């Protein structure tokens, strides 16, 4: 049985009429840049994420970039993040002229380990500490990082919090005082991606920045249009970070179904857990649900020693998987100049060597989930 890692055509089949109708509306209007559709999407995403404002941008990468630029982060500054994330997190930090200050991940959640964050900050000399300007936690695979203690560190050192929520739209966390918050609503800036494989995917590139500050909202709007206000008068150097009306129109349609799709992903995760347990596959480590609402952008298992072999075996059986991510960022060629050694972040190195994402998209059938676990069982049985 074929089980692709992701099948967007299955979802499109359920949306086709609606999508064609709204895209036609945009064609008739001939308004392709920003406009009412983008504003409507911004209002809806802000509300969905429990934020006051949202600014539609050209991609998740640009959401990170425009946030850093608006925060005034640049040459000589340091931004704290983890080396176990998609390239864009650190790519955007370095593109504004700053450098990443890496903190290792928690072994079970793959998110920034707040205790390591605290010890890293404590270990810095005064001069270096004064260069640290922001913390950029990543809510990896659809589960919020442990933001409570991260916020405490941010407050203590007067740092801006920029959430990389690209994989986590609608994910929630409950703070110690019992208050629940959604990804993107906890810091100064929340950065989202509408890349097609994200839970809310456009028909192309797109992104969003959320904020609770009117001042930052207004500055983000200016930064998105080359820093101009009014038109052709530039007080800051911005860029073209605009979201297309066509993408916004499609995303407005898709947002209505997001909770239903998220529920489908969560049900699939639950089904996997039962199937793995019934199959007695104790050597496979399943994802840990530590925070309140995991939206399962990815369902990532862990298998020590034979991950690549398993992946090849599943691939040969028609089961799609992916490694997110095979090489941590602190050891990428382009970041050699930062001077990190592989052993500096052992949990990131370990996760890169042992994790594997299984198909989790909401339209998967029960038989497909069963086939995935059955094939993993077969693999482990012959090679135990």
Ligand X SMILES: *Cc1c(COP(=O)(O)O)cnc(C)c1O
Beta bridge pairs of residue 56: 208
Provide, rounded to whole angstroms, the least separation between the CB of residue 140 and ligand X.
Answer: 7
Beta bridge pairs of residue 81: 102
- Write phi, then psi, for 358 (nearest 5 degrees): -100, 160
Residue nearest to ligand X (CB): 60
Provide, rounded to whole angstroms, the least separation between the CB of residue 192 and ligand X.
Answer: 8
- Write phi, then psi, for 356 (nearest 5 degrees): -150, 130
Q: Which residue number, 58 or 266, has a Cβ lying nearer to ligand X?
A: 58
Q: For binding to ligand X (CB under 6 A), which residues are involved?
A: 59-61, 85-86, 88-89, 138, 164, 166-167, 193, 195, 205, 207
**How far apart are the two ends of the chain, measured CA to CA in Å?**
24
Nearest of 277, 359, 382 to residue 1 by alpha carbon: 359
Element counts in the chain: helices (H) and strands (E): 13, 11
Provide, rounded to whole angstroms, the least separation between the CB of residue 261 and ligand X.
Answer: 17
Please name the residues in contact with 112: beta carbons below 8 A apart, sequence gap of 6 or more. 80, 81, 82, 103, 105, 106, 137, 138, 145, 146, 150
Provide, rounded to whole angstroms, the least separation between the CB of residue 203 and ligand X.
Answer: 13
Q: Which residue number, 104 or 205, has a Cβ lying nearer to ligand X?
A: 205
Provide, rounded to whole angstroms, the least separation between the CB of residue 279 and ligand X.
Answer: 30
A 10 A CB-CB count for 175 gives: 13
Provide, rounded to whole angstroms, the least separation between the CB of residue 80 and ligand X.
Answer: 15
Q: Which residue number, 85 or 211, has a Cβ lying nearer to ligand X?
A: 85
Beta bridge pairs of residue 33: 244
Q: Which residue number, 60 or 275, has a Cβ lying nearer to ligand X?
A: 60
Q: Which residue number, 205 or 347, has a Cβ lying nearer to ligand X?
A: 205
Q: Which residue number, 53 or 241, has a Cβ lying nearer to ligand X?
A: 241
């Amino acid at each position: 049985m074929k089980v692709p890692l992701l099948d967007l055509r299955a979802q499109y089949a359920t949306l086709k009429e609606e999508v064609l109708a709204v895209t036609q509306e945009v064609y008739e209007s001939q308004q392709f840049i920003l406009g009412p559709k983008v504003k409507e999407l911004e209002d809806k995403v802000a509300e969905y994420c429990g934020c006051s404002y949202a600014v539609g941008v050209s991609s998740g990468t640009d959401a990170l970039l425009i946030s850093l630029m608006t925060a005034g982060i640049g040459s000589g500054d340091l931004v704290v993040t983890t080396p176990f994330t998609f390239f864009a997190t650190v790519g955007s930090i370095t593109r504004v002229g700053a450098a990443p200050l890496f903190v290792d991940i928690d072994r079970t959640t793959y998110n920034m380990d707040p205790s390591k964050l605290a010890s890293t900050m404590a270990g810095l000399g005064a001069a270096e500490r004064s260069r640290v300007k922001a913390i950029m936690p990543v809510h990896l695979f659809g589960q919020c990082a442990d933001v409570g203690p991260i916020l405490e560190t941010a407050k203590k050192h007067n740092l801006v919090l920029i959430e990389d929520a690209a994989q986590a739209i609608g994910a929630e966390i409950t703070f110690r005082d019992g208050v629940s918050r959604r990804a993107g609503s906890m810091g100064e800036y929340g950065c989202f991606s509408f890349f097609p494989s994200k839970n809310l995917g456009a028909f192309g590139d797109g992104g969003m920045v959320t904020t609770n500050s009117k001042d930052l909202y207004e500055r983000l709007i200016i930064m998105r249009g080359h820093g101009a206000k009014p038109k052709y008068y530039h007080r800051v150097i911005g860029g073209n970070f605009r979201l297309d009306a066509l993408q916004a129109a499609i995303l407005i349609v898709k947002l209505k179904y997001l909770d239903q799709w998220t529920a489908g992903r969560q049900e699939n995760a639950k089904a996997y857990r039962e199937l793995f347990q019934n199959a007695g596959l104790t050597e496979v480590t399943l994802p840990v649900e530590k925070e309140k609402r995991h939206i399962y952008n990815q369902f990532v298992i862990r298998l020590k020693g034979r991950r690549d072999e398993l992946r090849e075996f599943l691939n040969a059986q028609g089961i799609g998987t992916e490694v997110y991510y095979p090489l941590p960022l602190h050891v990428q060629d382009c970041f050699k100049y930062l001077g990190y050694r592989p052993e500096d972040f052992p949990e990131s190195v370990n996760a890169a060597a042992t994790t594997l994402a299984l198909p989790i998209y909401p339209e998967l059938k029960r038989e497909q989930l069963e086939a995935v676990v059955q094939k993993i069982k077969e693999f482990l049985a012959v090679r135990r």
